[in-house]
Structure 1
């Protein structure tokens, strides 16, 4: 079994201790460092290069969102999970723009947190589930994206993506997981992963969110509000 290395970033030492003990006793996870503020977190990531960063948003000095931006800029392969106000559309927008893979409430049950961490390590973006689960959050997020891709900013240049890749990217933008995309398009999960890898390579971006924003800015794809 491959082991997921992670660091914990939180101001409360007792919280870090409890989380470290719980994760250390869970097969497949290894806590390789801890930090109590944003600057420490950035330095620690440079030193240990973990697979995942589990971090609080409310940090002294540099907050968690800004730390996430810095980490993703220099270590795009590292997945970031934030503790934060998940019912706030404004917060979710900022987290998506920072490249965060998942946001969870501070009072989340450990079993649910573990499930989220495993999703993230599979390359999924549970942050999309937040958008789909709450119409209010969805409206805020999608309105922010619409403002980013207003008619005056759209570049109508030729898309390097194939028709199938654009289809996959539209489903990614709508918040679907790889498995859901595979079912909708009647293709294998591995084929979906191959399409996404090709999309990232062609657009020279680091993650799915960046690919979606890149394509939306150029008018290649549209995002529809989820039903509900």
Structure 2
């Protein structure tokens, strides 16, 4: 069973999400919050598996709440809710430690799938949307340097050439199956590589790995 906390300042939206989730046998809504501070308190009290987090709320916003929740309760995953597919607030929340984001007008099946994916550790709910967000902020990301990839940033130094190759494909928004096909590997091997990449980079999930790949200049928005 996956316990979910709903965080949104609009009661009607929370009601809609609750109706969708409570129709599923494996999902339970354990609480609701209308702002970031209440969300922080609810997470401490309820320890949900997944938080559906709005970002634009009065008082403590979803970005600050996400950062605190991730720091204090690493087992709880945060799934950002946003009105637009390219949203600076959602991007900031990903950098704060959220495991992915979802549009508020997503179909019920997409919402359920997203929650299950995040709960199981398959972090990037929509990698191609994440890439579009990174493209929006291309001007803020570093320009790749000349020389070997490991010269770009010390955080990449522990990765093997194959792991760097896999990280590049992850940053391009490819699934494990797509990476396996491109690199002529089995899906199990790709999964192993991704797991080692996350461990070496000390990041929570694929979203954070994608952000790091762009921030370090390992890949560019056009490359």
Q: TM-score, normalised by structure 1?
A: 0.80
Note the 1:15-30 alignment, pairs <5 A.
15-30=13-28
- Structure 1 pair 168–70 and aligned structure 2 pair: CA distance change class (3 A): same
4+ residue runs of structure 1 moved beyond 6 angstroms?
none
**Larger deviation, residues 86-95 vs 55-64:** 86-95
Question: Which deviates the most, 210-219 or 170-179?
Answer: 210-219
Superposition RMSD on alpha carbons, in Å?
2.9
Q: Are the counterparts in 2 of residues 7 and 31 from structure 1 also a CA contact under 8 Å? A: yes
Q: Distance in 2 between matches of 1:121 and 1:157?
A: 27
Aligned 1:105-144 pairs, distance under 5 A: 105-122=103-120, 123-132=122-131, 134=132, 137-144=133-140
Please give the secondary structure, in 1, of the residue aligned with 2:91. helix
Secondary structure of 2:64's match? helix
CA offsets 1:81-105 (integer angstroms, 9 cap, x no match): 2221333353343233123233223
State the 1:214 CA deviation. 4.5
Structure 1 SS opposite 2:137:
helix
Number of aligned residue pairs: 218
TM-superposed CA distance for 1:41, in Å, is 0.6
Structure 2: gaps (5+ residues): none
Q: Which stretch of the first structure deviates more once superposed, 111-120 or 49-58?
A: 111-120
SS state of the match for residue 146, structure 1? coil
Structure 2 contact 70–76 (Cα < 8 Å) conserved? yes
Match of 2:219 in 1: 222
Long gaps (5+) in structure 1: none
The TM-score with structure 2 as length reference comes to 0.81
The residue that corresponds to 2:38 in the other structure is 40
Checking the alignment, whether the CA contact within 8 Å between 2:50 and 2:78 is kept in structure 1 is yes
